[in-house]
């Protein structure tokens, strides 16, 4: 009843904003049985889909060659650290000046506990993981038109919203307004559950009390010795809680892709890419920009050149090809892929997204506001601020995810800006939540994904799934794979599962004819 009355809008908002809330169907390592008899497979792209294909197909006995546009593997599995340099479309270059040990993940930044494939590969590749703090009750919820623009602690909104809703429902039961829906026996159980769930008193009221403060925090914390008695905190006005619309953010942490526990690789997300590189790095030609993909009945020919445009064009040939190039890029490459696949490639748009890594002189969010990990949400264009899940209590500089836009007009707005302007927006909006921003700011970097040369967007969008079956099936000697060919878009799990499915079907075709 509470979910129906209060949670559907928030749940829809979270799911539409963050992607499909679907668990992984991974059941364990694949087996590619049978002898490929020296067949060669050319893999285009060394993101996680391409790396997975290279790892598994080499193990199955294939001759494998990988062409990768970048100077390193990983694709969107990417980490920026001090000393790195990044040049976006248009020529603007950002030189990262973070202190040693600090980093930002411009792409994937967390691993759900039920994304079994990526977690399994981390274990198999020796990639150490640590907890990622998604939900922190001390973080902030903020809207410019609520509470005079002052951010509110998530625990205050969550506890008071739950309490006020519980009281309203309890009153409805007491007044007999649910008699036709709930039996007398169940009404008693429902009231009992509401007292527990909403921290109601014996009169079924949600009121200021020490018991309620055990959930929302105290005005004065309990202590020891003289004057140690705690003082209960004041409740937020129920009408303001509802009108603030801050409850929209509460369900984000409840979608299955964001439920605790979540994880991250120790030291940066690219630890996963480096794990794969240790196994198959010798198969990869880096700085190779594919310009043509052609196939016939005898094999596949790929034309490529140096990513910086120098040198002569070269060709690579193989019996078969696994193409993990994003459709945003593949649509600009000369190819003779057929039918529905060609249509899907030509028609697929890509999400816009922008992320900021902001380094501050000290970890003021911990020292001043007792926020250790988690995410604060805002209706401003930056969308959210995420606090690092590592390095707690250290004195040196710390890096925040200073904003993360997902789809929509805000992403397009930041696409049009130069890095300096994007940085100013992040500071201007962030200081409305943390006044220390300006004084404590040290350096920063931002990545607008439509300006990233090797993908031109964050993740593929299926306006509908009409071409999906054509897009995933084997087209003569070529099969495509990647997050854009999954029902887990934008997640690394989707890229890996797509790759495993593609190479399994390709292997069956090669072995069985």
Pairing between β-strand 334-335 and β-strand 288-295 as defined by DSSP bridges = parallel
Of residues 362 and 185, more confidence is placed in 362
Report yes or no on 249 lying in a domain. Answer: no
Report yes or no on 445 lying in a domain. Answer: yes
Residue 390: what pLDDT?
96
* Nearest CA among 271, 252, 18, 256 for reference residue 115: 256
CATH number at residue 199: 1.20.1440.240
- Distance, in Å, from the CA atom of 115 to the CA atom of 23, rounded to the nearest integer, reads 7
* 66-83 residues labelled b (16+ CB within 10 A) or e (exposed): bbbbbebbbbbbbbbbbe
Residues comprising the chain, all counted: 513
> Cβ of 36: how many Cβ atoms within 10 Å?
18
Is residue 260 scored above 50 in pLDDT?
A: yes
Give me the number of domains the chain comprises: 3
Q: What are 72's strand-pairing partners?
A: none
Backbone angles phi, psi at 199, to 5 degrees: 55, 55
Residue 2: what pLDDT?
35
Is residue 1 scored above 80 in pLDDT?
A: no
Q: Are residues 184 and 289 in the same domain?
A: no
Q: Are residues 497 and 394 in the same domain?
A: no
Which of the four pLDDT bands, split at 50, 70 and 90, describes residue 8? very low
How large is the average pLDDT for residues 252-262? Answer: 92
Q: Are residues 377 and 447 in the same domain?
A: yes
- Distance, in Å, from the CA atom of 501 to the CA atom of 53, rounded to the nearest integer, reads 10
pTM of the entire predicted model: 0.92
CA 122 to each of CA 34, 287, 365, 384: distance values in angstroms, whole numbers, following the listed order: 26, 26, 31, 28
Residue 156: what pLDDT?
98
Residue 22: what pLDDT?
54
Q: Give the CA-trace dihedral at 418, 420, 422, 428, to 10 degrees.
A: -150
- Distance, in Å, from the CA atom of 113 to the CA atom of 417, rounded to the nearest integer, reads 36
Q: Are residues 445 and 467 in the same domain?
A: no
Report yes or no on 24 lying in a domain. Answer: no
Q: Are residues 345 and 467 in the same domain?
A: yes
Q: Are residues 134 and 38 in the same domain?
A: no
User: Which of the listed residues 416, 451, 486 is the one where a domain comes to its end?
Assistant: 451
Residue 23: what pLDDT?
65
User: Which of the listed residues 406, 430, 451 is the one where a domain comes to its end?
Assistant: 451
Quote the domain boundaries for residue 416: 80-138+260-269+351-451
Sign, CA torsion 318/324/327/328: negative
Q: Are residues 118 and 180 in the same domain?
A: no
Q: Are 290 and 55 in contact (CB under 8 A)?
A: no
Q: Are residues 326 and 290 in the same domain?
A: yes
* Nearest CA among 193, 147, 107, 97 for reference residue 397: 97
Report yes or no on 281 lying in a domain. Answer: yes
Helix (H) or strand (E) segment spanning residue 132? strand 129-132
Q: What is the mean pLDDT of the chain?
A: 94
Is residue 479 scored above 70 in pLDDT?
A: yes
Which of the four pLDDT bands, split at 50, 70 and 90, describes residue 218? very high
Is residue 278 scored above 80 in pLDDT?
A: yes
pLDDT in tens, 92-113: 999 999 999 999 999 999 999 9
Is residue 19 scored above 50 in pLDDT?
A: no
Q: Are residues 224 and 284 in the same domain?
A: no
Q: Are residues 370 and 265 in the same domain?
A: yes
Sign, CA torsion 412/454/389/110: positive
CATH number at residue 380: 3.90.660.10
Q: What are 288's strand-pairing partners?
A: 306
Is residue 9 scored above 90 in pLDDT?
A: no
Q: Are 311 and 331 in contact (CB under 8 A)?
A: no
Report yes or no on 148 lying in a domain. Answer: no
Q: Are residues 128 and 182 in the same domain?
A: no
pLDDT > 70 in the chain, percent: 96
CATH number at residue 497: 3.50.50.60
Residue 24: what pLDDT?
79
pLDDT in tens, 318-369: 999 999 999 999 999 999 999 899 999 999 999 999 999 999 999 999 999 9
- Distance, in Å, from the CA atom of 75 to the CA atom of 390, rounded to the nearest integer, reads 24
* Cis amide leading into 207 (omega within 30): no
In 217-370, which ranges are continuous DSSP H helix? Answer: 238-244, 271-280, 327-330, 339-347, 364-367
User: Which of the listed residues 402, 435, 451 is the one where a domain comes to its end?
Assistant: 451
Taking the CA of residue 350 as centre, how many other CA atoms within 13 Å lie in the half-sphere pointing to its CB? 25
Report yes or no on 8 lying in a domain. Answer: no
**Looking at residue 247, what DSSP letter applies?**
G
Report yes or no on 67 lying in a domain. Answer: yes
pLDDT in tens, 413-425: 999 999 999 999 9
Which of the four pLDDT bands, split at 50, 70 and 90, describes residue 5? very low
Report yes or no on 410 lying in a domain. Answer: yes
Q: Are residues 232 and 300 in the same domain?
A: no
> Cβ of 229: how many Cβ atoms within 10 Å?
9
């Amino acid at each position: 009843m509470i979910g129906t009355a209060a949670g559907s809008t928030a749940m829809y908002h979270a799911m539409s904003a963050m992607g499909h809330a679907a668990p992984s169907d991974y059941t364990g390592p694949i087996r590619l049985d049978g002898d490929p008899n020296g067949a060669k497979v050319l893999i285009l792209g060394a993101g996680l889909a391409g790396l997975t294909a290279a790892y598994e197909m080499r193990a199955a006995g294939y001759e494998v060659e990988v062409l990768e546009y970048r100077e390193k593997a990983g694709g969107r599995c990417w980490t920026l650290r001090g000393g790195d340099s990044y040049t976006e479309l248009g020529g603007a270059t950002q030189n990262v000046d973070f202190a040693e040990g600090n980093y930002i993940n411009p792409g994937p930044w967390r691993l759900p506990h039920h994304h079994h494939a990526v977690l399994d590969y981390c274990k198999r590749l020796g990639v150490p993981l640590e907890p990622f703090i998604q939900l922190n009750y001390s973080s902030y919820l903020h809207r410019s038109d609520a509470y005079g623009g002052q951010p509110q602690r998530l625990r205050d909104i969550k506890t008071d919203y739950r309490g006020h809703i519980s009281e309203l429902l309890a009153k409805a039961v007491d007044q007999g307004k649910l008699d036709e829906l709930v039996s007398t026996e169940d009404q008693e159980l429902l009231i009992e559950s509401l007292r527990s769930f909403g921290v109601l008193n014996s009169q079924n009221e949600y009121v200021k009390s020490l018991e309620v403060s055990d959930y929302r925090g105290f005005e004065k914390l309990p202590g020891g010795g003289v004057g140690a008695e705690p003082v209960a905190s004041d409740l937020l006005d129920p009408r303001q809680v509802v009108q603030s619309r801050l409850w929209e953010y509460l369900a984000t942490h409840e979608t299955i892709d964001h439920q605790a526990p979540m994880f991250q690789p120790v030291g940066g997300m690219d630890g996963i890419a480096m794990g794969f590189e240790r196994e198959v790095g010798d198969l990869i030609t880096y700085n190779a920009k594919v310009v043509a993909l052609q196939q016939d009945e005898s094999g596949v020919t790929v034309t490529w050149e140096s990513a910086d445009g120098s040198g002569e064009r070269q060709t690579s040939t193989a019996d078969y090809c696994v193409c993990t190039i994003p459709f945003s890029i593949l649509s600009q490459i000369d190819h003779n892929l057929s039918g529905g696949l060609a249509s899907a490639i030509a028609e697929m748009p890509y999400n816009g997204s922008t992320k900021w890594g902001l380094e501050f002189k000290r970890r003021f969010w911990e020292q001043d506001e007792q926020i250790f990990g988690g995410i604060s949400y805002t209706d401003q264009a930056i969308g959210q601020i995420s606090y690092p899940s590592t390095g707690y209590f250290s004195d040196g500089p710390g890096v925040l995810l200073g904003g993360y836009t997902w789809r929509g007009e805000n992403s397009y707005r930041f696409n049009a800006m130069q890095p300096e302007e994007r940085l100013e927006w992040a500071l201007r909006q962030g200081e409305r939540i943390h006044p220390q921003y300006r004084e404590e700011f040290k350096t920063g970097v931002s990545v607008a994904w439509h300006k990233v040369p090797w993908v031109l967007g964050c993740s593929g969008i299926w306006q509908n799934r009409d071409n999906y079956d054509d897009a995933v099936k084997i087209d003569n000697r070529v099969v495509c794979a990647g997050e854009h060919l999954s029902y887990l878009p934008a997640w690394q799990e989707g890229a890996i599962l797509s790759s495993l499915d593609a190479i399994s079907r390709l292997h069956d075709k090669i072995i069985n004819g």
